[in-house]
A and B are shown apart, each in its own frame.
Chain A
Amino acid sequence: MLALLLLLVAYPLLVLVGASFGLGPLEESAGAYGFRYYLELFQHVHWLMNSLGVSVAATLLALLLAVVLAWILGRTALPGRQLLNTLIVVPYYMSPLVGALAWGMLGAPKSGFINRAFQALTGSQDYLINTYSVGGMICVLALFEMPSAYLMISAAMRGIDPSLEESSLVLGANQLTTALRVTLPLLRPAILGAALFVFSSMMGAFAVPAILGIPIRFYVATTAIYTLVSTYPPDYGLAAALGVLVALFTVLAVWLYGWALGSRSYAVIGARSYRQRLIAPGRWAPLLLAACWLYVLVGVALPLGALAFASIQRGNVTSLRVSDWTLSQYHFVLFEQEAALQSIKNSLLLGVLTGTGGVVLGGLVAWLVYRTRAAGRRVLEYLAMLPQGVPRLIFSLGLLWGWLVLAGKLYGTIWILLLAYLTVFLPLTVRSLTGVVVQLERSLEESARVVGASWLRTIRTITLPLLRPGVVAAWMLLFISSIRDVSASILLQSPKSRVLGPTIYDFWDSGGLPLVSALTVVQTVITLGALLVMGLVLRQKKEGA
């Protein structure tokens, strides 16, 4: 496993590190090495500071939303929980490009739909919100990354023995005290895991800073890297040096995660089965419902509505006149535009392959790190987490050059995209499964071994069934992540291996808002449809079991 991760993760990173020190063109062997690019970075330290500032703020906001919503929907008997549970994760199905585009339309200071409505209602000339701002970027990032944290935290919450909370109530604590002093500490590994994942995602986020940040001349590490590699001549060395520095922050974050967990036991999944204890919301029900539906409104309804409205316009300026509406963009995307059709097919295929391969790979890593005493397991964990901290754009450059040397024929095929996804999403799976693995009490497996079950049988009959919710959640996260990816794919896709993210970006770059809105609406519908089918299949299997 170590050898495999060294090949998948360390090798492309070594190529990057080499590029950051090499003083020759990337496509040739560097004849000389030096620190020139790192020294040059001192002049641009604000790129890194901007990334850190935005990432920390967005992570805190996303976590707050995730914990609150996970508690409301996991611990209360609120009506419509099932529906809300489904709707709340919808933003994550959408490409971040979608969220940025939609909130650009909704919250632009002069022409945003929300501001125009506000001005019409109040007569004011001021704007209510401005998404083309640092605060706007933070909110949009948090909105669209929150679901991944929510999935991790709610999966862990479902695995908590409710008798612990019952005991707290019996001893006189109220619901809030129980939530803060019992539930929350038990969720600590999952929250920290989610924080690490979300923070790393934010540091590597590209679409939102590109669409909402660049027009206001605000650059973060990823948009700086994109600009550096897009110019002629491209500045790969400086881009690689910046990528390496960002990666160092992830290493630090992983170390902090391990230090924060320490040697405490978080084992709460016992051998007994139990029913979840749900709290009757009582007079708090309207407020709790409003909080959930507010998120659905700002995270789902408004963005999709804005995009759907933009997709039926003739031109870039939206109009309420029906005569200015047309469905021609959909006709073009679905029947005339081969690039769009090909990208949908490839994205679905890669989604399934990434989900399946990813949970196997990530599951093995999580197991080895947290359930064994194998030598070098911490190194394994650092390796697995490294891709999360390296902006996918620059990581894919390292992949591109690295795999070119090893297996040049992969270039231009969907297989190099699969390699890229398995590598860059490895941290997602590991973090997602780790949160559940650490809660699994060892005594369950030990009991099985004591009565004579082999290791494989123990895994199959005891461990995996208990881990199933987490495994399914991880598979779904991987499927979604690969479909919505832009930055890992943008340098690796070719005319024969088109995928949705870069295709949407190309359309945004050159196609105009109605066209890109139509394609993103189609993408969202297809993704939701695929997830619905998957949900039905899984439910049938569960009922049949």
Chain B
Amino acid sequence: MKGSAPQDMVQGFLHGKMTRRDLIQRLTALGLSMPAIGAILSVCSSQASPALAEAPPGADVEAAKKEGRVVMWHTDMQAGVSKFGNLFSDKYGIKTESDRLLPGRALPKLEVGLKSGTLDLDVWWISDAGIMYDQQKKGRLLRYVSPQMQAYAAEFKSNPEGYWTGYLVDTPAIMYSPKFVKKEEAPKTYLDLLDPKWKGQLGCKPSSSGSEYAWWYLVRQVVPEDYFDRLAKNQPRPYDATDQMMDDLQRGEIKIGTCVSIFQYVVALRNKQPVELVLPPEGTPCSLEVVGISASTKRPNAAKLFIDYFLSQEGQQAWTNMYGSYSARKDCSNKELPSLATVKLLQPKDMEDYASPTRHQEFIKVWNQVTGFK
């Protein structure tokens, strides 16, 4: 059969004709072992398609420079976003301004800004793809198909593409410090988190967190129905950000982080702090962080140029190196983390349901119970 040899499949994947999932399925059907498939995917990830890596910006660079700046809202670490903004500024001479706004704070500002005509927002990066999906439906996102989007799998992009694109794949994991928890006692599965010995010793994020929503939404598919009622009995402690959770983890104030952004593992290793990572066999939630352009942008060329840079291999590798996370870009790898191909990812199957306010409200009710905010 034409195109059925592994090398043909790999070429098809590298040129965007096949998703990663399709590739894994086809390679499995050929009888290859998982380690072999993982090795192939690692090679794929590290090989830049020359056409993709060198694609020029789709935006008008001169027009963007005249516009002079890009205003961004995001949910990442402010320090990291500022540093990345400086890289863009150094390359193109266009200033960036950024504001960290979790969804609950961003949305009222958005509504107020739109209502008063004073919204000053060009690019929005957010940890809840469902919200961007909702904004897309409301016509609040500018569609821009950057040449760099070819380097992203379909499941990481809006449909039709160009409204929003996933740039970071977070696989929030269970983490602990071997200084305080022995390996043999550490949880290996989600059910192990229900052990009463962890009462008051678990860290999680609050109901305002987009990534915690993703965690709940996806983990509930692989755990019993009463899981979260039982988890609530262990009285997990809520932390606004995983930075704080890791602080307490490293200091022994809590023993287990239940939903820790994967980049924290890299940060701990870089700082030579003891940390162990647990990716449960039931699967790890895939929390996609996405980026899009506001339809009300006053600086469309600068916004488009930023998207080009952010989603380029150069931009994504810089972000990955700085942040320590997985990139959603096919030809960007992070050698400090296990290959994404070897991680069993849990992803939303129904975007409508994932994005729905009803589902979010259900999460808030359950999670407020879990975190003691009732």
User: A-side interface residues toward B, CB under 8 Å?
Assistant: 26-27, 43-44, 108-111, 132, 210, 214-217, 219, 224, 227, 229-234, 236, 314-317, 332, 336-339, 397, 400-401, 404, 408-409, 411-412, 490-491, 494-496, 506-513, 515
Contact = CB atoms under 8 A, between A and B. Distances in A.
A343 to B, nearest CB: 11
A26 B373 CA distance: 23
A491 B112 CA distance: 11
Contact of B241 (A315, A409, A509): A509
Contacts of A219: 372-373
A510 B357 contact: no
A217 B371 CA distance: 7
B9 interface: no
A510 B79 contact: yes
Interface string B92-136: 000001111011110111011101111010000000100100000
Contact of B97 (A111, A337, A496): A496
Given A27-B112, A316-B243, A511-B243, A506 B208 contact: no
Contacts of B100: 506, 509-510
B273 A315 contact: yes
Contacts of B131: 232
Contacts of A27: 108, 111-112, 115
Contacts of B364: 231
Contacts of A338: 82, 97
A61 B166 CA distance: 52
Nearest to B106: A232
A507 B79 contact: yes
B78 interface: yes
Most B C-beta atoms less than 10 A away, residue of A214, A317, A336: A317
B250 interface: yes
Contacts of B272: 315
A329 to B, nearest CB: 9
B374 interface: yes
Closest 3 CB pairs of A and B: A408-B116, A217-B372, A111-B251
A230 B112 contact: no
Interface in B226-264: 235, 237-241, 243-244, 246-248, 250-253
A109 to B, nearest CB: 7
B98 A339 contact: yes
A397 B213 CA distance: 25
B361 interface: yes
Contacts of A233: 107, 357, 360-361
B77 A411 contact: no
Interface in B55-87: 71, 76-79, 82-83, 86
B297 interface: no
A230 B248 contact: no
Contacts of A229: 104-105, 108
Contacts of B207: 227, 231
20 contacts: A27-B111, A44-B374, A108-B248, A215-B248, A229-B105, A230-B105, A232-B107, A232-B208, A232-B210, A232-B213, A234-B108, A314-B271, A316-B247, A316-B271, A336-B82, A337-B79, A400-B108, A495-B120, A506-B78, A509-B243
Nearest to A413: B118
B285 interface: no
Nearest to A401: B112
| Chain B interface size, under 10 / 10 to 19 / 20 to 34 / 35 or more | 35 or more
B206 interface: yes
Contacts of B360: 231-233
B273 A227 contact: no
A182 B167 CA distance: 71
Contact of B78 (A111, A494, A510): A510
A231 B208 CA distance: 4
Nearest to B110: A27
Contact of A234 (B79, B104, B244): B104
A217 B239 CA distance: 10
A111 B235 CA distance: 21
A521 to B, nearest CB: 16
A495 B105 contact: no
Nearest to B249: A316
A486 to B, nearest CB: 13
Given A217-B235, A234-B108, A332-B79, A227 B373 contact: yes
B252 A111 contact: yes
A509 B74 CA distance: 13
Contact of A317 (B210, B239, B251, B357): B251
Contact of B82 (A339, A397, A412): A339
A111 B253 contact: yes
Contacts of B104: 229-232, 234
A215 to B, nearest CB: 5
Nearest to B254: A215
A232 B78 CA distance: 21
B242 to A, nearest CB: 9
B118 A411 contact: yes
B287 to A, nearest CB: 14
A507 B364 CA distance: 25
B186 to A, nearest CB: 18
Given A214-B238, A227-B373, A494-B99, A409 B118 contact: yes
A363 to B, nearest CB: 33
A412 B113 contact: yes
